[in-house]
Amino acid sequence: MKAHTLTYPLLGWFFGLVVAAVGVLNLVLVHPVPGIAYLLLSLVYLPPANDLLKRHLNFSIPVAVKIILAIVLFMFTLGVSDLGDMLDKALL
């Protein structure tokens, strides 16, 4: 029981910070609009935002939805967006 209470917030912080980092990279390197969108989507993963939603709206986003959203975000970022193209050129 203790592992679940510790694991979910740590994964939430990890994915939230990764999505926020992608947002900052988009904001600086590509265009402000996708950067701001990624920064707002990073709030979905952060535990304080989840607690705020649960406390004020009695609603919480399920973990399965967060996982699917993370997969879609990273596929879009690395496959379709300009940031993915910039990373490909930098690594070659």
Domain that holds residue 6: 2-91
**84: Cβ–Cβ under 8 A, 6 or more apart, which residues?**
77, 78
Q: Which pairs from 34-39 meet CB under 8 Å and 24+ separation?
A: 34/81, 34/83, 38/73, 38/77
CB atoms within 10 A of CB 38: 23
Question: What integer pLDDT is reported at residue 2 of this predicted model?
Answer: 56
Question: What integer pLDDT is reported at residue 4 of this predicted model?
Answer: 59
pLDDT band at 7 (very low <50, low <70, confident <90, very high): low
Structural domain count, the chain: 1
Q: pLDDT by residue (tens digit) across 23-72?
A: 898 888 888 888 898 899 898 888 898 888 889 988 888 888 888 988 88
CA distance 3 to 50: 19
Q: What is the pTM of this model?
A: 0.78
